[in-house]
Structure 1
Amino acid sequence: MTNGHHVVVLGAGYTGMFSAIRLAHRTRRAGVKITLVNPSSRFVERLRMHQIAAGQELAHHRISDLLAGTGVTFVQGAATAIDPEARRITVDGATPLGYDTLVYALGSSTDTGNVPGAEAHAFTLNSPEIAGRFAARIAEVAQAGGALTVCGGGLTGIEAAAELAEAHPGLNVTLISTEEPGAMMGAKARAYLHRVLDRLGITLETGARVTEVLPDAVELADGRIIRSDACLWTAGVKVSPLAADAKIATDDRGLILTDATLRSVSHPEIHAVGDAAAVRMGYGQLHGSCQSGLPTAQYTADTIARLLHGKTVRPFRFGYFHQPVSLGRRDAVIQFTRADFTPVGMRLTGRSAVAYKEFVSGSPLMTYRFSKRMNVTTLVSKGGRATRKPAAS
């Protein structure tokens, strides 16, 4: 019986927002109550944080506006504790919120706790407010012809370094990475990426590990000191300790361990999506990204709706199909992939890649709007043979 069933969604990022809106549409005649909990009233486009860091003004999307017409209740506040036995959440340390089904969508953030000085002296792209303060600092540094270090050569670090170098031609940008930037791409896409970074005047420190962030420099493992009037930290991620603290089964990083239907292996009334979930396919564990996160949200909304109506649920299947990377506002590279994220020969570069990347970045908001009226299917591959194999334990 679904009437009065209460679903609470923790986190209003890309996955939490999609889970709530799609589930509301799927259960609109079933008497299901849905509550979305998030500390901020603003919906954050994490895919565009590097644009804010470069001083660009982005649209301000209010969560209440995105939920308008769905029937979803928005509670602004931070979840501070979960009691899975009582099925109760504590919000802002005081307000209790009961649930019948919980969607855990708290995502991840950049981890500055593993390297001395990173938390004190480095900026992150964890929120629009932090990115905005970083943008103000970078404007000062660039005007003085100063130096920026971007620590971490993953996609976030690459996009941020390119965006900042393009926006501030007088800025000396150094990208520091333990691996070659673009290592996951094919040779031709990677070569294009490096040509663009070189054209933008970005210095690469490849195979380098930062051991300490100082107020005006970063120290590398080989003893070298690199000048840094501002440091952007993009290396490593962490998740909320909320699940582990509640004795919900997690891996050693704090991600909720899930079964084949993305339900907690210890508490099946809890569904985990996006970066907060340890999701395994036959080819390995999904890494945190919007590309894999939105399909987990779509699947979970559909799964909850099916379970409430007594229907069977098939296992979750997902395969990657691209690696989109913006390189400033006027260039980009898109590497297409197999289901397991390994590259294939097809790629896009230049203007066509810019248009493709912009579509990808803007697609979540379009999906939310249309999902209020219909069951919108995200751009997702089930991965073919690669996901038919059972996940390794």
Structure 2
Amino acid sequence: MSHHHHVVVLGAGYTGMFAAVRLAHRTRRTGVKITLVNPSGRFVERLRMHQIAAGQELAVHRIPDLLAGTGVTFVQGAATALDPEARTVTVDGTTSLGYDTLVYALGSSTDTATVPGADVHAYTLDSPEIAGRFAARLPEIERTGGTVTVCGGGLTGIEAATEIAESHPGLRVTLLTTDEPGAMMGAKARGHLHRALDRLGVTVRAGVRVAKVLPRSVELADGRVIPSDACLWTAGVTVPPLAADAGIATDGRGLILVDATLRSVSHPTIHAIGDAAAVRLAWGRIHGTCQSGLPTAQYTADTIARLVRGKDVKPFRFGYFHQPVSLGRRDAVIQFTKADDTPRRSYLSGRAAVAYKEMVSGSPLMTYRFSKRMNVTTIVSKGGRATRRPVA
């Protein structure tokens, strides 16, 4: 079965890249062929996009360089159609790739379609190019004492707001959020986060909903208008419609419904990982983060390696471990969690948290490099007793 077996991986984000590199190592003596498909030749460090938005220069990592020595074939292009019955993927509308096994790792992007004007007047952190265009506007806005609004008070919005405020102290930064920033954290970690926002001069407007994004302002649902010389949108995510359009079983958000081994319930030759998969464990549904995405990639690479050798596989197990958030370059807070992502009593803050967060942000690239030669694990917690039995 393994000889001439072709595995196509769609998406070279954190999960797709790890799945391809680890699978190449695990199947190096089986004759399995692996092709990785991605629209850009640059590997995007999504964990650092807020730094680019604040105007910082980051190292550029090319996908072919990260794949060097693995034997993985890289095809630069966008997957535009998928035929799960014929087992083919169309790239850029012209090239057809046949597969025996497909790893679907097309991650999420920022949802700018829900609120009018967000798609036209707001920037996102979806790519270095868009974040760079946002950053290019900040010096001019700072010179005039203007205002930048960050819409969305999740961890991404918090990191962006604090990074911008620290890098551009002459700016007025406003964070608009429906919930209290850090609501998922324990009281002490949340208190440190709020003190950091205050110290950096970030104005927090919690409990509000954005109704419209305008060229120079943001209109709230209650009719108030917030001045905004530049708006950064981090509220909500969406996934590509490729899977749903192909007739693959998906949930209401477009995520692929998977079984306990992360295979499509409608098309078992398709494995879905990261933000693309609707993964439910005994304690609840996994939400899209790098923390959960890399373990799904590791598990799937190992699962495919076992399947091509005719071996049985065990169900996927995972539990959350932490909620790391940077607060500029000189501060951070790390909330340690239970498997279901609820907070424990322990947390880190200050310099120790900065070092911890930097290790977390840099770990995927190190993992890829080491995975060319050895099996590197990214699973810190398997979720304890709750995940020993798969969800029916």
TM-score by length of 2: 0.99
Identity %: 80
Contact 1:340 1:386 in 2 (8 A): no
Aligned residue for 2:204, secondary structure, equals strand
Aligned residue for 1:136, secondary structure, equals helix
- 2:35 maps to a residue whose letter is T
Q: How does 1:236-251 map to 2 (within 5 A)?
A: 236-251=236-251
Per-residue CA deviation, residues 243-264 of structure 1 (Å, 9 max, x unaligned), is: 0000000001100000000000
Contact 1:339 1:386 in 2 (8 A): no
Aligned residue for 1:166, secondary structure, equals helix
- 2:296 maps to a residue whose letter is T
After alignment, is 267-276 or 374-383 more displaced?
374-383
- 2:22 maps to a residue whose letter is R
Q: Does 1:19 align with 2:39?
A: no
Q: Does 1:110 align with 2:115?
A: no
Q: CA deviation at 1:83?
A: 0.4
Aligned residue for 1:96, secondary structure, equals strand
Q: How does 1:3-42 map to 2 (within 5 A)?
A: 3-42=3-42
2-structure distance, mates of 1:143, 1:44: 30
Per-residue CA deviation, residues 232-287 of structure 1 (Å, 9 max, x unaligned), is: 00000000100000000000110000000000000000000000000001111100
Other-structure match for 1:157: 157
Contact 2:143 2:170 in 1 (8 A): yes
Q: CA deviation at 1:140?
A: 1.6
Per-residue CA deviation, residues 334-381 of structure 1 (Å, 9 max, x unaligned), is: 000000000000000000000000000000000000000011111421
Other-structure match for 1:388: 388
Per-residue CA deviation, residues 97-123 of structure 1 (Å, 9 max, x unaligned), is: 000000000000000000011101000
Q: CA deviation at 1:143?
A: 1.9
Other-structure match for 2:98: 98
Other-structure match for 2:189: 189
Other-structure match for 1:205: 205
2-structure distance, mates of 1:48, 1:65: 20
Contact 2:330 2:354 in 1 (8 A): yes
Give RMSD over aligned pairs: 0.7
Aligned residue for 1:248, secondary structure, equals coil
Per-residue CA deviation, residues 311-340 of structure 1 (Å, 9 max, x unaligned), is: 110000000000000000000000000000
Q: CA deviation at 1:390?
A: 3.7
- 1:212 maps to a residue whose letter is K
Contact 1:19 1:298 in 2 (8 A): yes
Q: Does 1:136 align with 2:136?
A: yes
1-structure distance, mates of 2:380, 2:258: 20
Aligned residue for 1:291, secondary structure, equals helix
Contact 1:261 1:313 in 2 (8 A): yes
Q: Does 1:302 align with 2:316?
A: no
Per-residue CA deviation, residues 61-84 of structure 1 (Å, 9 max, x unaligned), is: 000000000000000000000000
Aligned residue for 1:323, secondary structure, equals strand
Q: CA deviation at 1:142?
A: 1.4
Contact 1:258 1:277 in 2 (8 A): yes
Per-residue CA deviation, residues 7-62 of structure 1 (Å, 9 max, x unaligned), is: 00000000000000000000000000000000000000000000001111101000
Q: CA deviation at 1:5?
A: 0.2
2-structure distance, mates of 1:19, 1:380: 17
Other-structure match for 1:65: 65
1-structure distance, mates of 2:386, 2:140: 49
Contact 1:166 1:200 in 2 (8 A): yes
Contact 2:315 2:390 in 1 (8 A): no
After superposing on structure 2, the runs of 4+ consecutive aligned residues of structure 1 that deviate more than 4 Å are none
TM-score by length of 1: 0.99
